[in-house]
A and B are shown apart, each in its own frame.
Chain A
Amino acid sequence: MNTKRLSLTLLILALMLVFGAPHGFSQTRPEYIPLGGGVKGVLYRPDSNSSPQVAVIIIHRTANYLQHAGCTQLSQRGLMVLCMNSRFDNNETLVNWELIALDVKRGVDYLKNTQKMSKVILFGHSGGGPTSTYYQAVAEKGPSYCQGPNKLTECDSSGPNSVAGLTPVDGIILADAHPGNTANALRAINPSVREGQDHEVVGVNAHNGPIIPNKKLDPFDPANGYNPNGKSTYSKQFQKAYSAAQSDRMNDWINQALRIRSLMAQGLWRFPDNDSIIVARGGGSQAGGGDGAQLFVPDTDIQCCTVKPQKLLQNDGSIVTQIVKSVRLPNPAVADGNEEFDGGTKNLTVTAYLSAGAIRSTDSMDFKQIDWCSSNNSTPCALQNITVPILITAMGAHYLFVDAEEFYENYSISKDKEFVTFAGLVHGITPCNNCPGGPYQNQVTNYWNYLYNWITTRFGN
């Protein structure tokens, strides 16, 4: 080998070493990122884009979103995606809701400062909806948003838990976001548990006898319209009494929790800092809420349809504007789980309950009778304070698009906002195979393509 050839060979080798070495993993090899403070992150770099400028954060409240479908779907399309779990990962009892903004902040700052992303989008799926909107509302308005005498719990504006100075993001996408873990709990609470028994189940029950429900309000009594073998049909009268009684039971629990908190502050409670709150037949203590007592789960005529004609993206990719009707199937099986401790009981603390499990209301099913800003875990309250572009998506084989329409029509103040329902998708963004009107096999691709296009149209990639 002559000198020239040797030099060229060495140069090629050197360039391979410098530029061929992996500086990080691609979407197919996601990188674990410890973000500190008990916050976990996984970074999905796009294979197809070596210098992405736009990143998406995906986070829930307690569910594991480190491998959420959006992590790969959006990174495959060229975006950087940071999938995160908060400090409350896998644990509803640990939730101290207002602090979750500090966990989101870790992700936003990591993307902005370490990865040098020019644009960051929050993706709020299900319980991620209240998380992402709460973060952005505080980021835009400051801590005054999450403070006030009407709040069941308030954020801090000074000290180690201060939420002052959050970095605003550039856009928000909601995916079948629910109106709040709090509102979910309200609609899931079984009002047939008598008040006397409620008082006995703080801590370990005094008598531990079986719960005897009030038959007139029992959602799983065929006399009230429940059908264990198919779709239930509850009368309007029963629905009205039921939703009012749900509010009544939750208000009782709120008062009980506030009383405990007040006695703690005075040094008159058995603990100085916190205590347990156990709500039998209140829905489970896990992400998704377990087996609640929402009437619209067995009776699909309730929470069925949009009020106005709205965009519906169909399996062939076309969009029609019409009254959207859910194609979901009734699920009467929640009746068994509702009686269980695991599936049907809220096993929380005073802090967790007041901050992320309770909201004031007079009727659980009437948007206008829920005091949305009594909790910081409230998508409708937050959306009234968010100005960045927002895409509200909902799943046509679930029931939350009815709430999504409310967000879009009556609460979001963003000037750049859009609402689309995707026909035949279930809450987890997969096709409903047994729902009428199918097949819906193209909808997963349609969904993520739509999101990608919405993002890149506004922010590039």
Chain B
Amino acid sequence: MKIRISWLYVLALILICASIGSPVFADPPPPEYIQFSPSATKGALYYPDPALYPNPHVAVIIMHRNSNYLSHLGTREFPRRGFVALGMNPRCDNNEALCRPWENNALDVRSGVNFLKKLPGITKIILFGHSGGGPTMSFYQAVAENGVVFCQDPRKLVQCADSLAGLPPADGIVLMDAHPGNGVNALRSLNPAVTNDSAVLNQNREVRINPNLDPGNPKNGFNPNGPTTYSEAFKKKYFKAQADRMNFLIAEALQRWQQIEAGTYKYPDDDAFIVPYGDAARLSEADLSIHHSTVQPRKLVKNNGTIEGCCAVASVRVPTFDPEASGEFGSTIFLTIQSFLSVRAMRSTDSMDGIDWCSSNNSTPCNLQKVSIPLLVTAMGGHYFIRDSEVFFDMAASADKDFLVIEGASHGGTPCTACEQVPGQYSNTVKNLFDQVATWINARF
């Protein structure tokens, strides 16, 4: 009898040890698919391991403008640190032309916020804006805090609908290498060497290029074999020409929109808006001196996890400019009048310094001036949004705000291996980023 009891005891202990060590308890549960409305709006809900975090009370919502964030890096990393994560795709999932208007994506963020608020135990909601998620989340919170008067400002190229009234505000916002806005990105990526936009837009003509503004022309400073150095004169001329081309396109789109509203256009609702050489001509991808570093000393999260705050932080990125890419159809703005004005248009006099930030709702700097909740701005040290992040960090109205640069991280948060001087130099970027974000959240919520 004694022997049988001992065997039972041993068997029980073995099974308990096996179960504790099994993947079921070592990993979070699988993500649950959540269908929102309209049909294109989707979500995937990730919980932390209940054995380690039985009562999570903070939920993070992660969404872009049109990219698939259902399995974004954060959906894995946040649950590992005890947070619930909801990866979402909005109504213009996988289709920027369906952002008609982009402002309505805020209704999808609202669906996610309301869903999370109803989950048992969840008391705090954090908006996580990575890349194009930055304008998305900052716009949502600005409207939630200030009402539709914010997004119906007559200076905006597109005014939001009244249906955006009453958005429930979130409790905190984290930006991860957020860009300043799709409109600004488009402005800085436009190839300003095109001389015949009117004929291209109206008669479907072949593009004519002014060689004096061609960013891929070695006479202008382009170096196909390494970092490029453009002259100050070229850069000034180029940035001014980018603003001029964008302003022309805005005028064309607005003129067509007015015809639609007047009932004199061939369609009563919208039309295609196709702009060749509309992307892949960003000078900072060739000339690393442009937007090279922060202006002020900022916090740099080193690869070993320590934080250095002594100095201005420089990007360690490498040149990525491809002079052939700009002429491909893939670099064409292939949108509609509505989606162009809503997503990819921004007024300016100079693409780098003369930007009318509040001419678009898709503008992180404009939005952050109207956001008061705690804000953490993170920038990836192996990319080119460090200086932009510093700009909108300085512009942000939040009384509780912080700014960190993750050393050697690519735009996606993973190590920029091409930036490394020695293999593994930036191996901890993901851990460092999400550890810092988790620490920031835990300290507040």
Contact = CB atoms under 8 A, between A and B. Distances in A.
A24 B92 CA distance: 30
A67 interface: yes
Nearest to B71: A34
Contacts of A270: 205-207, 276
Interface stretch (B31-39, B181-189, B354-362, B392-400): B31-39
A436 B75 CA distance: 50
B161 interface: no
B329 A349 contact: yes
A209 interface: yes
Size category, A interface: 35 or more
B309 interface: no
A210 B19 CA distance: 71
A25 B256 contact: no
Interface residues of B, number: 64
Nearest to B32: A29
B402 interface: no
B97 A30 contact: no
Contacts of A14: 11-16, 19
Nearest to B44: A32
Contact of A21 (B25, B98, B268): B25
Nearest to A275: B329
A10 B20 CA distance: 14
Contacts of A79: none
A50 interface: no
A243 interface: no
Interface string B137-150: 00000000000000
Interface in A328-353: 339-343, 345, 347, 349
Interface in B171-224: 200-207
Interface SS of chain A: helix, strand, loop or mixed?
loop
A67 B35 contact: yes
B269 A342 contact: yes
A11 B10 CA distance: 9
A416 interface: no
A441 B256 CA distance: 48
Residue with the greatest number of chain A CB neighbours at <10 A, chosen from B266, B271, B327, B330: B266
A23 interface: yes
B40 interface: yes
A185 interface: no
Interface string A162-188: 000000000000000000000000000
Interface in B241-283: 256, 259, 264-274, 276
Given A10-B13, A93-B334, A347-B272, A204 B19 contact: no
Contact of A271 (B5, B22, B205, B327): B327
Dominant secondary structure of chain B at its interface with chain A = mixed
Contacts of B268: 339-341
Contacts of A339: 267-268
A42 to B, nearest CB: 4
Nearest to A87: B94
Nearest to A88: B94
B272 A276 contact: yes
B379 to A, nearest CB: 27
Interface stretch (A1-9, A366-374, A375-383): A1-9
A278 interface: yes
Interface string B297-333: 0000000000000000000000000000001111010
B33 A13 contact: no
A410 interface: no
A22 B29 contact: yes
Interface in B40-80: 40, 42, 44, 68, 70-71
A363 interface: no
Contact of B5 (A4, A24, A210, A280): A4
Given A32-B70, A341-B270, A10 B19 contact: no
B40 A341 contact: no
A361 to B, nearest CB: 26
Contacts of B270: 340-342
Contacts of A18: 15, 18-19, 22
B293 interface: no
A206 B334 contact: no
Contacts of B20: 17
Contact of A210 (B206, B266, B327): B266
A189 B270 CA distance: 19
Given A10-B9, A10-B13, A25-B32, A38 B274 contact: no
Nearest to B39: A64
A235 interface: no
Contact of A341 (B31, B39, B269): B269
Nearest to A17: B19
B328 A271 contact: yes
A40 interface: yes
A18 B18 CA distance: 8
A272 B328 contact: yes
Given A89-B94, A90-B95, A208-B265, A32 B272 contact: no
Contacts of B267: 280, 339-341, 345
Contacts of B24: 21-23
Contacts of B256: 208
Given A206-B202, A340-B268, A274 B329 contact: yes
B24 to A, nearest CB: 4
Nearest to A29: B32
Interface of B: 5-6, 8-9, 11-16, 18-20, 22, 24-25, 29-33, 35, 39-40, 42, 44, 68, 70-71, 92-95, 97-98, 200-207, 256, 259, 264-274, 276, 327-330, 332, 334, 336
28 contacts: A11-B15, A13-B12, A14-B11, A17-B15, A17-B20, A25-B29, A25-B32, A32-B30, A38-B68, A40-B42, A89-B93, A90-B40, A203-B200, A203-B272, A204-B204, A205-B271, A206-B202, A211-B266, A271-B332, A273-B329, A274-B330, A278-B272, A339-B267, A340-B270, A341-B271, A341-B272, A343-B269, A347-B336
